[in-house]
Amino acid sequence: MYIESLKVFCDLARMGSFSKAGEANQVSQSAVSQQITSLERKLGVLLVARGGRGGVGLTQEGLIFLTACEEILAIYARTGTQLRELRNVVSGELRVAAVHSIGLYELPPKLKAFRQAHPEVKVLVEYKQASQIYTAVFSGSADLGLVAFPARRPGVQSESIGEDEMLLVCSAQHRFVGRPNIDLKELEGEKFVAFSPDQPTRKALDKYFRDRDVRLSPFLEFDDVETVKKAVEVEEALSLVPRKSVGKELLARVLVGVEIRSVCIRRPLAVVSRRNAPRSAAFRALVEYLRAGATAADGDGVLSARNVISG
């Protein structure tokens, strides 16, 4: 039995679809079916219960075999890592799941530098919602995740890679344009575009405003920062977004940054990974690149990311 076939079986069990397992392994759906059939013949048992419309489930024997496969693949990966590290070679594949605001703006320059320094490492990046990232990391479909306001989740650990600043932006036609700064209370009654209620950044900002008795009623809510920015521009509204996400818009004067008097809001950024999972040299090296240039907030009138959460 080949390692590739064991991986295909595990992917099929996790994804529940022959076509998705094929895509994950860059083979056809029929090739996946053939590999599973070959495994069943060699073992003399039925591993997969085929369902309608391509759906699949595991038999009792399949569940037992899945546990063994996962252990074998983990040992194989760990051994490969140890052998490469004996040669002091940073190589292999890293699967990264990132929220849009980090993956599109914080990650690219650091990932570019990492790839130049370690060309033997293949880094694959997927953009997901925060809740999906924790699931992907725990299930093993992602080696590490990049999130803001890391949460405690069973089987998952987090480590800081710094903070980023949240900037109040408005459309170029807004009445705040031209003012040196505004008071936090002046946001009340304004058309405010917010992130979706289930997002960690939204929850932290809601608590921040609530603790300071600032009543905001979001005019629109969106899952990703790109849509939030566009809504601010089109609706002549306001929003709080990561500063790095609006660099081009500020230069083009499509959006304008507005200073809030005596307030600097920062949010924590973190790498999340499966607890107690082996870490390759490539994993450790990428985390160091992600930490490079990390910021920290301090001083009067500055709200640290930790305070955003705890109030």
Separation between Cα atoms, residue 117 and residue 241, nearest integer Å: 31
Give, for 9, the enclosing helix (H) or strand (E): helix 3-15
- CATH of span 163-266: 3.40.190.290
The segment(s) of the chain belonging to CATH 3.40.190.290 are 163-266
- Where b means 16+ CB within 10 Å and e means fewer, 222-232 reads bebbeebbebb
Percent of the chain with pLDDT over 70: 89
Percentage with pLDDT > 90 across the chain? 60
Calculate the average pLDDT of the chain: 86
Kindly report the pTM of this predicted structure.
Answer: 0.68
CATH class assigned to 3-85: mainly alpha
Mean pLDDT of 97-121: 92
pLDDT digits over 185-205, tens only?
999 999 999 999 999 999 999
220: pLDDT confidence band, cut at 50, 70 and 90? very high
> What is the per-residue pLDDT for 89?
61
Per-residue pLDDT, 192: 96
Domain 88-149+271-296 has CATH 3.90.950.10: no
Mean pLDDT of the region 139-168: 92
How far apart, in whole angstroms, are the C-alpha atoms of residue 215 and residue 197?
A: 15
Where do you find CATH 3.40.190.10 in the chain? 88-149+271-296
Residues of the chain with CATH 1.10.10.10: 3-85
| DSSP 8-state secondary structure symbol assigned to residue 184 | G
3-state secondary structure of 156: strand
